Amino acid sequence: MKSYFSTSIPTFCLLSIMAITSGFTRATKSDSEWLAAEAKALIETGWWSNYTRAENHCTWPGIQCNAGSVIEIDLGGHGLNGNITPQIGALSKLQLLNLSWNSLTGELPSSLGNLTQLAVLDVSYNHIHSIPLAIQKMENLVSLSLSGNFIDYNASAIGLLTNLTHLKKLVTLNLRYCYLSGPIPPHIGKLERMVHLDLSNNRLVGQIPSSVSNLTNLASLFLQYNQLHASIPHEIGRLKNLVTLDLSFNMLVGPIPSSVSNLTNLASLFLQSNQLNGSIPKDIGRLKNLVELHLSFNRLSGHIPSTLGQLTNLESLYLHHNQIISVIPHEIERLKDLKYLDLSYNNLRGPIPYGLLDFPLETFTGNKDLCGSTQGFLHCPSTKHNLPVVILVPTFLFFVSTFALVIFILFRRYRSKTLKSDPSPTKNGDLFSIWNFDGKIAFEDIIKATEDFDSKYCIGTGSYGSVYRAVLPSGKVIALKKLHLLEAEQPAYDISFRNEIKFLTEIRHKNIIKLHGFCLHNRCMFLIYEYMENGSLFYALSIDDEAVELDWTKRVNIVKGVAHALSYMHHDCNLPIVHRDISSNNILLNSELEAFIADFGTARLLDPDSSNQTVIVGTYGYIAPELAYSLVVTEKCDVYSFGVLALEILMGKRPGELLSTLSSSSSRVQNFMLNEILDPRLSTPRTRKMARDIAFIAVIAFACLRTRPKARPTMKLVSQEFLHNKQSPIAIPLHEISLIELKNHEMFMGDENHK
């Protein structure tokens, strides 16, 4: 997801912000006592305990002075703890105070009200629980960030927001993850200079007040992940400067107001996961700057407006899981920058436009009346000849008997000839289809490329058969899994071989290995896959040099890719497919270190009319515990394996010992911190975003490892969390996150009914 407006004011803008304030006051010789008092106040905060008053405090880390007076304190992410002492209020010339991403506790001191020149206050992602009324005295405050604190302001948003409306110069207000509850007060409309407002990820209820339309300078409005209901106010169309509008994951009802089309500067519009109904506004084509449009998981009906074709900058269009009834307008083909499209699970009909056939199959699934020249859909009936019925009927009646007779005679001759003739071998031997290749590839070509499966071409051994690397005459490199002769005589191996063919010829996902073809020759049986240059994930994690190349960014993307593929298998196929052997051995990596699920020999369809009982299969350490006594396979078996895999990716090794320790009652478990189990071969995550991603994956992993299957999340929920870039629900540094906290976290606790 792109960010079109920063969630905080960047450093290079701070001087501009400070210029809004009353200016700098130079200190003179008569101010020596004042400067000494400043140094004393700084020492008493406890943040510079290694320094003395005799030293020039303007040289201390994180401090910037002007004419001897402190104007900036920037200690974000410095590991500070304890309370913010009242002495901070003695720094009356202070214009910037950044204490974010620390472990500060308690309440903000009321002495902050003395900082009347303060322009920027950022105490986000600490453990602050109370904001003093005196904050309204900070009349020059331009940017206020309180995100990621558990603020108990009489358990409501009204008290805090009403108090903040006295800050008339506020431009940026960040209150995400503050656990605020209750409605948004109408007083919010008094902050007329506001440019960036973020109230997301709270517990806000009620309606979006129409007074928000008074914030005409607003460029970004984030209200996602709350419990807002009622309709979107029509007045929102007055926010002509809005660039990003995110109202997703609420309970909003009613139609999308037509006034949204007035937001001509809008680049990102997120309305997904609400209860919106009605049609998509026809005038949406006026939003020429729109890059992202997310309307999925609503109750939208009507037609897809052809005016979407006017959104020439659009890169993402998500309309899936609605009730839209229409053809797909050909105008969408004009969107040359479109990279992400999902129209699945609607009531769409008619042909899939030719220009959209390059999008994956799952883009259109769940629309039974669609047709087109793509796998998984019926070909559309021809409409070239549309003669009137009154002309066709007499002609048809005249020729029908003769036509039937001719067909009957030809069929008899063809059948007789077929029964008498033997099938003739082709030039290069038995042929088999190779999907995604032109024409046919012959059996003999494979034999030649591998020198009859010489061991020097063998690159590994799977759960059944050996894997070979081969270069086709075209130069294309492929992987072949060959079932040995002795294995072919074993029913279990033969079933696994045919099982893999069955599943991989029917499913398509960017994170599932592609099966290009197969051969059932009397000399040997083999499968043909796309070649994965970097082998298995297990291999990459086992070799130090390979593991280092697999940095945190790549590891996070691997977890996401596997989650999306499993979600597709469990929830987007006609019958759910359970892999039953998700492990690092069965995750392959291409040249870009992207992940692909492989080895579907043990996969199984879940039949709602069957008991789904099974024998225990899979890799030791990844098998869900309930299989030992129930022998009933469900999607939650894969979910458990995914949890083990996610931990393995974070740790760089299989987590069996850790899981045993966590399940014990040992007191030392309480002292395990997340940073202690991370792969020591990688350096500590350098950015806050990466640290949040790692914490988020850890939370999800432990949720997937819950003993009770119904307590685990579905892979669809996990996939959606990743798709919507939801930040970690634990907004503290990694070295302060205990494994017990991760194990007992409330995330997904309410999802037991999502099977």
Catalogue the active-site residues. 581
What is the C-alpha separation between 142 and 533, in angstroms, rounded? 52
How many CB atoms are closer than 10 A to CB 85?
A: 15
Tokens at 601, concatenated: 């020999």
The C-alpha angle 25, 45, 123, rounded to 5 degrees, equals 80
Tokens at 534, concatenated: 């970097």
Instruction: With beta carbons less than 8 A apart as the criterion, state whether 189 and 212 touch.
Output: yes
- Altogether, the residues listed in the chain come to a count of 755
Nearest to 272 by CA among 255, 247, 292, 289: 247
Instruction: With beta carbons less than 8 A apart as the criterion, state whether 319 and 338 touch.
Output: no
Q: Tokens 């760089």 label which residue?
A: 652
Residue type, 392: L
User: What is the DSSP code string of 594-634?
Assistant: -EEE---TT-EE--TTS--B----S-TTTS-TTHHHH-B--
Instruction: Indicate the pairing of strand 81-83 with strand 69-74.
Output: unpaired
Helix axes of 688-704 and 715-723: crossing angle, nearest 10 degrees: 170
Q: What are residue 145's DSSP bridge partners?
A: 122, 174
Residue 733 CB burial class (10 angstroms; 0-12, 13-18, ≥19): buried
Nearest to 150 by CA among 166, 131, 165: 131
What percentage of the chain's residues is helix, strand, coil (to nearest 5)?
A: 35, 20, 45
Phi, psi torsion values for 333, nearest 5 degrees: -60, -20
Report the C-alpha dihedral over residues 138, 144, 145, 150, rounded to 10 degrees.
Answer: 50
Mention every residue, 6+ apart, whose C-beta is less than 8 A from residue 3.
244
What is the C-alpha separation between 461 and 468, in angstroms, rounded? 9
**Has 481 been labeled as part of a binding site?**
yes
Tokens at 414, concatenated: 């063809």
What CA–CA distances, in Å, run from 586 to 188, 282, 525, 539, 641? 53, 47, 21, 11, 12
Mention every residue, 6+ apart, whose C-beta is less than 8 A from residue 235.
210, 212, 213, 259
Instruction: With beta carbons less than 8 A apart as the criterion, state whether 515 and 601 touch.
Output: no
What is the C-alpha separation between 654 and 116, in angstroms, rounded? 55
- Core vs surface per residue 299-338: b (16+ CB within 10 A) or e: ebbbebbebbbbbeebbbbbbbbbebebbbbebbeebeeb
What is the C-alpha separation between 586 and 600, in angstroms, rounded? 9
What is the C-alpha separation between 117 and 97, in angstroms, rounded? 11
Tokens at 433, concatenated: 């289809």
Question: What residue numbers does the annotated binding site cover?
Answer: 481
